[in-house]
Amino acid sequence: MTSVPANLLLLHQGEETLFARTLKMVEFYPDLADHLAITERAMDVLDMLRQHYQADDDERAISHLGIRVFNGFATAWKLMASGYYQAATLILRDIIETTNLVNAFHVDRSLVEKWRKADRKILKRDFAPAAVRKILDEAAGLGKSRREEIYIKFSTLAGHPTLDGFAMLRPKDMDAHIGPFSDLTALRAVVEEMGMLAPQAGFAFSVYLDTSQDQCRQTAHYFMSGAMDYSGKYLGKPYSNEERAEVDRLFAGPIPGSHIRRGGGSSP
């Protein structure tokens, strides 16, 4: 009978020790908890989409991309909490790429079917990350955005083997470390990036929620109210009282005449 090698079991024990240490850091530093909280709210949107957006092949494709992003957030958190900061950043790059693709589908819904049926040549030509960024930049009509800059940053630090990427293998004031390690600076850097990605992903997928359904409506409201708080606190883009009131008017409370049980999604 074979068994897991002893060194791999010891490695897992070390990861669990680091995970417990990360939880204590989150308890001590409120900003870390804030980034995780908005990530959870975005994940609520993705889970609600999975439950209610399956009517045809196009909807299932978008829903499955939402599952991919949900799993990406979960994996990135697991990795960074266990001391694998560079690996977590690599997963975040995938979330960027997937979110951009779904935003492109919102710009032109016909792209969903084209993407589903595309061969490798068309995928590379029309749906590569650079091609998708071009679709979004042209739709915005504001010239070149920072999307390429952000994607390159994640690629350099984690997506490709580079000298700059070695920085993510070093605890503060130490040389490169093999295996997981605990470092507040590295944790904060990665969890901040995840927190900033969460509103983007949440908004990209929330537009597909059917808010005539009470559960979808509540989930959308819970996410959007959290995203507005997060934006004002961490992104330098505060929302006015009028904007908040409009979101409350559109999304708060049950649909009149609805008999769907409240609280089936996430709850504040």
pLDDT band at 114; cut points 50, 70, 90: very high
Residue of 150 and 263 predicted with greater confidence: 150
pLDDT band at 165; cut points 50, 70, 90: confident
Q: What is the pLDDT of residue 73?
A: 98
What is the Cα–Cα distance from 76 to 92, expressed in whole angstroms? 7
Q: pLDDT per residue over 212-259, tens digit each? A: 899 999 999 999 999 999 999 999 999 999 999 999 988 876 544 433
Q: Residue 263: is its pLDDT beyond 60?
A: no
Q: What is the pLDDT of residue 38?
A: 98
Q: What is the pLDDT of residue 254?
A: 56
Full-prediction pTM beyond 0.85? yes
Place of tokens 């580079």: 162
What is the Cα–Cα distance from 20 to 30, expressed in whole angstroms? 17
Percent of the chain with pLDDT over 70: 93
Residue of 264 and 243 predicted with greater confidence: 243
Place of tokens 């330098």: 236
User: So where are the chain's domains?
Assistant: 12-211
**What's the mean pLDDT in 13-19?**
97
Q: pLDDT per residue over 53-106, tens digit each? A: 988 999 999 999 999 999 999 999 999 999 999 999 999 999 999 999 999 999
**What's the mean pLDDT in 36-40?**
98
Residue of 30 and 156 predicted with greater confidence: 30
**What's the mean pLDDT in 11-17?**
96
pLDDT band at 266; cut points 50, 70, 90: very low
Q: What is the pLDDT of residue 264?
A: 38
